[in-house]
């Protein structure tokens, strides 16, 4: 996706050899026009799979999930929570996930009534690194008796194993851009 590629090259940079910093347009500050273009691209790719629910995890995946849902005729969005809340129903699906970004483990959770049996779920997130967040959402989908029709991310870290692992499980994964390497703070994309 050319506009995303340009944004990554112009505004993104690497921290060390494994952190992709794109906070100015994707996961802190938001370029809404770009997000709607990405949502339309994801919708176009997965429309054939007939999803009826978009799933993500708080917080950075929510914007892209919403624009994808909008492009798929305003499907509902379910975002999994990372911490308990007093206002959250006790009837939950839960799974343990290790966050690559934060280097910590957390219990991913979602309300059972928001993930009914038989739903066709498209998973959407901002990044794919080790694949733990998507793997956690897949576990919740399985617990519910729903079906994951695929996963889509804005940026995949191609130098980390998550994408390969998920594809090896037979999951259709769409990455709108793939960072193949970080070299001296510069992001090298697979399209280069």
Residue pair 14/182 in contact by the 8 Å Cβ criterion: yes
pLDDT-derived band at 192, boundaries 50, 70, 90: low
Which residue from 118, 115, 143, 144 is spatially nearest to 56, judged by alpha carbons?
A: 115
R_g over Cα of the chain: 16
Instruction: Indicate the burial class of 111 (C-beta count within 10 angstroms; 0-12, 13-18, 19 or more).
Output: middle
Question: Which pLDDT belongs to residue 147?
Answer: 98
* In the chain, domain spans: 2-189
Q: Which fold has domain 2-189?
A: Rossmann fold (3.40.50)
When mean pLDDT is compared across 66-75, 83-92, 129-138, the lowest value belongs to 83-92
Question: Which pLDDT belongs to residue 103?
Answer: 78
Residue pair 114/144 in contact by the 8 Å Cβ criterion: no
What is the average pLDDT across 82-95? Answer: 80
pLDDT-derived band at 84, boundaries 50, 70, 90: confident
């Amino acid at each position: 996706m050319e506009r995303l590629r340009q944004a990554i090259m112009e505004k993104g940079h690497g921290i060390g050899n494994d952190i992709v910093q794109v906070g100015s347009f994707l996961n802190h500050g938001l370029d809404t026009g770009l997000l709607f273009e990405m949502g339309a691209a994801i919708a176009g790719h997965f429309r054939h799979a007939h999803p009826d629910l978009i799933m993500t995890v708080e917080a950075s995946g929510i914007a892209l999930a919403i624009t994808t849902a909008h492009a798929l005729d305003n499907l509902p969005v379910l975002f999994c929570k990372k911490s308990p809340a007093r206002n959250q129903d006790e009837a939950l699906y839960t799974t343990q996930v290790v966050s690559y970004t934060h280097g910590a483990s957390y219990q991913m959770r979602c309300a059972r009534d928001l993930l009914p049996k038989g739903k066709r779920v498209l998973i959407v997130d901002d990044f794919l690194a080790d694949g733990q967040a998507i793997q956690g959402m897949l576990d919740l989908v399985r617990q519910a008796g729903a079906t994951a029709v695929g996963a889509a991310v804005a940026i995949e870290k191609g130098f980390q194993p998550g994408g390969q692992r998920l594809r090896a499980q037979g999951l259709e994964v769409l990455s709108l851009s793939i960072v193949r390497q970080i070299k001296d703070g510069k992001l090298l994309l697979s399209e280069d």
